[in-house]
Amino acid sequence: MKIAMVGSGALGLYYGALLQRGGHEVHFLLRSDYDAIMSNGLTVHSINGDFYLPSVSGHTTSDTIGTVDLVVVGLKAFANNCLQNLIQPLIAADTHILTLQNGLGNEELLADLFGPERVLGGVAFLCSNRGEPGHVHHLGAGRIIIGEYQSLDNLRLERIASVFTSSGIECSTTGDLKKARWEKLVWNIPFNGLCALLQQTVDQLLRVPGCRKLVRELMIEVITAANAQHLNEAISENYADSMLEFTDGMGVYKPSMQIDREEGRELETQAIFRVPLEYGRQQGVSMPRTEMLVVLLEQGKSILST
Amino acid sequence: MKIAMVGSGALGLYYGALLQRGGHEVHFLLRSDYDAIMSNGLTVHSINGDFYLPSVSGHTTSDTIGTVDLVVVGLKAFANNCLQNLIQPLIAADTHILTLQNGLGNEELLADLFGPERVLGGVAFLCSNRGEPGHVHHLGAGRIIIGEYQSLDNLRLERIASVFTSSGIECSTTGDLKKARWEKLVWNIPFNGLCALLQQTVDQLLRVPGCRKLVRELMIEVITAANAQHLNEAISENYADSMLEFTDGMGVYKPSMQIDREEGRELETQAIFRVPLEYGRQQGVSMPRTEMLVVLLEQGKSILST
């Protein structure tokens, strides 16, 4: 299958490398890593075993890629205003678009731009960070859950899942993409938010009882808002506890938003906080801690910019 | 009147200097400023006009002060475990103790240690900071409201108020000290907390609409908890708006807790946050934003100490 990775950060480089190793024709849209990867290839440092791709098809523009079978979107959501230009040259009649981006609102945007029938979404439970140019570090997990944006074609969904699984990526399918997205937010909202705000790793938050309690309270706010969204099946409060335990197992981990803040980059506050807050508000769900967290994150940004 | 200032920070130095200039025999218990003040006196830089006291009675221990008529307590509340030793040598049969400390729980402690009949409390609306040793900066406001801890003696209360007013300090009396304390918390909880957490001045918070809204929401939580404490008269929600306007007038102001955090000192989280939260909890009032704020402040402390 011919695949374009649009947004080749820690997520795009990692999954793209596995797909290429799995025998697919993968094209990476690159920015900062372009020179390093074209000269020296791509190195994956993984808990499942390191590997090295000496030859990678890197591009600085989508025009040189041409049309593809599958576009995998791993761009930070704050750059979504670039998606039209980045993806348009890749689209043929039967091209599918799978967004693995964080937060809410990404499928909707892609559906508006390129038609809902092309769009699939997925959530990735992946601990990975970029290293020096041309290197990506896979620190833990890696499972993907994918679903149809409009439940049109279950066979297609299974076929795309098999592209991942046959490349060594654990990938399951769901009939309720909305639920999967909100479940991911149960993790992203407290951990991305608090780690970025406090510049602390997940273990530093979880070992202080008062802060662990705050993490759980944020999770419960997200679960309450999720369950007001007419999911096929409700998310149980136990999910919060299982996410706490899952995160205990991560050890010293910096979520991507912590790194973004540390390096002075823009934060994905819109997709991860503002859209979920608005969806909660529309259903009459109050999320005081979640709202306070994004206000503090945005206020912190105003420090950096003044 | 013979007066001891116990805790000679920005508040103690400023009011003590005015009381001395007003003709009272003022003794300052000093630590870091001792050498500078004994050598060069005390300089007050005030919006109401600078003045200089060439000769000040400074002490490094209460033993050399002897007993006094009035003890004014301006110590940071996290040092309350020192109060017994600092105040005991100052106490004669008819010594009064007036605490101008922030937060809740200070009168109770003094009453336990020295008898409730001696104890008065007050809240100070004062913008002041310490400068170099021997210098204090009065940046704005300065009004004090004082009240009896147990409403025993209104004449005494008026007499002590007149000590302040005759020294040029605006001082009114209240029959509801508890209400005055909670009203001060309506300011202290959002501004001390958020300025310390974000390392931003009050004007930086107030000019961002989302953050101004958060400040007001915190104020409303405090007002709700206050009104569950059986005050003589409820605090109106309009009080939040008048505090916002009052603070707009302060301009670029760093609350004391912001400076304490900046300089790596301990924060008064117990008196300003934890005791009010507990009093709220006892009356069934939930204060999610206030609790989140103190958790974040304490979590920030854990960064500094690891």
Q: Is the pLDDT of residue A193 over 80?
A: yes
Which residue in this structure is represented by tokens 């400068």?
Answer: B131
For B300, the closest chain A residue by CA position comes to: A198
Query: Are B204 and A306 an interchain contact pair (Cβ–Cβ within 8 Å)?
Result: yes
Q: Is the pLDDT of residue B304 over 50?
A: no
Q: Is the pLDDT of residue B18 over 60?
A: yes
Alpha-carbon gap, residue B246 to B240, rounded angstroms: 10
Measured between CA atoms, how close is B240 to chain A, in angstroms?
Answer: 18
Measured between CA atoms, how close is A292 to chain B, in angstroms?
Answer: 7
Mean local confidence (pLDDT), B160-179: 96
Q: Is the pLDDT of residue B306 over 50?
A: no
Measured between CA atoms, how close is A223 to chain B, in angstroms?
Answer: 17
Query: Are B295 and A211 an interchain contact pair (Cβ–Cβ within 8 Å)?
Result: yes
Whether the predicted interface score ipTM is above 0.95: no
Measured between CA atoms, how close is A131 to chain B, in angstroms?
Answer: 25
Residues A213 and A292 reside in one and the same domain: yes
Query: Are B296 and A198 an interchain contact pair (Cβ–Cβ within 8 Å)?
Result: yes
B303: nearest CB among A198, A288, A303: A198
Residues A147 and A104 reside in one and the same domain: yes
Chain B residues near residue A210 by CB distance under 8 angstroms: 295, 298-299
Residues A200 and A171 reside in one and the same domain: no
Q: Is the pLDDT of residue B220 over 70?
A: yes
Q: Is the pLDDT of residue A305 over 50?
A: no
What pLDDT does A153 receive? Answer: 74
Of the candidates A2, A184, A213, A301, the residue annotated as catalytic is: A184
Active site residue A184: yes
State the average pLDDT for chain A. 94
Residues of B designated as active site = 184
Q: How many CB atoms lie within 10 A of CB A78?
A: 17
Q: Is B220 on the interface with A (CB under 8 A)?
A: no
A&B contacts, CB < 8 Å: 70
**% of chain B residues with pLDDT over 90:** 87
Chain A residues near residue B298 by CB distance under 8 angstroms: 208, 210-211
| Per-residue pLDDT tens over the stretch B38-55 | 999 999 999 999 999 999
Chain A residues near residue B302 by CB distance under 8 angstroms: 200, 204, 208
Of B143, B160, B175, the residue that ends a domain is B175
User: Range of A277's domain?
Assistant: 178-305
| Per-residue pLDDT tens over the stretch A75-105 | 999 899 999 999 999 999 999 999 999 999 9
Residues A201 and A283 reside in one and the same domain: yes
Residues A168 and A287 reside in one and the same domain: no
Q: Is the pLDDT of residue B80 over 80?
A: yes
Residues A182 and A48 reside in one and the same domain: no
CATH of the domain at A211: 1.10.1040.10
Residues A23 and A165 reside in one and the same domain: yes
A198: nearest CB among B213, B217, B299: B299
For chain A positions 237-296, those within 8 Å of chain B (CB to CB) are 288-289, 291-293, 295-296
Residues A110 and A145 reside in one and the same domain: yes
> Between residues B154 and B224, which one has the greater pLDDT?
B224
Residues A25 and A117 reside in one and the same domain: yes
Measured between CA atoms, how close is B297 to chain A, in angstroms?
Answer: 9
Alpha-carbon gap, residue B111 to B88, rounded angstroms: 13
Residues A18 and A127 reside in one and the same domain: yes
Query: Are A200 and B292 an interchain contact pair (Cβ–Cβ within 8 Å)?
Result: no
Mean local confidence (pLDDT), A55-60: 96
Lowest mean pLDDT among A186-195, B202-211, B225-234, B294-303: B294-303
- Best B292, B301, B304 residue to mutate vs chain A (most A CBs within 10 Å): B292
Q: Is A213 on the interface with B (CB under 8 A)?
A: yes
Query: Are A292 and B214 an interchain contact pair (Cβ–Cβ within 8 Å)?
Result: yes
| Per-residue pLDDT tens over the stretch B53-69 | 999 999 999 999 999 99
What pLDDT does B186 receive? Answer: 97
Mean local confidence (pLDDT), B115-130: 93
Q: Is A210 on the interface with B (CB under 8 A)?
A: yes
Confidence band (pLDDT; 50, 70, 90) for B114?
very high
What pLDDT does A301 receive? Answer: 67
**% of chain A residues with pLDDT over 90:** 87
Q: Is the pLDDT of residue A275 over 50?
A: yes
Q: Is the pLDDT of residue A304 over 70?
A: no
Of B175, B198, B219, the residue that ends a domain is B175
Q: Is the pLDDT of residue A119 over 80?
A: yes
CATH of the domain at A92: 3.40.50.720
Q: Is B201 on the interface with A (CB under 8 A)?
A: no
Q: Is the pLDDT of residue B101 over 60?
A: yes
A210: nearest CB among B217, B289, B298: B298
Confidence band (pLDDT; 50, 70, 90) for A265?
confident
Of B175, B204, B233, the residue that ends a domain is B175
- The structural domain count of chain A equals 2
CA B242 remoteness from chain centre: 20
Q: Is the pLDDT of residue B301 over 70?
A: no
Query: Are B208 and A298 an interchain contact pair (Cβ–Cβ within 8 Å)?
Result: yes
Measured between CA atoms, how close is B241 to chain A, in angstroms?
Answer: 19
Residues B38 and B169 reside in one and the same domain: yes
Residues A78 and A156 reside in one and the same domain: yes
Mean local confidence (pLDDT), A13-38: 96
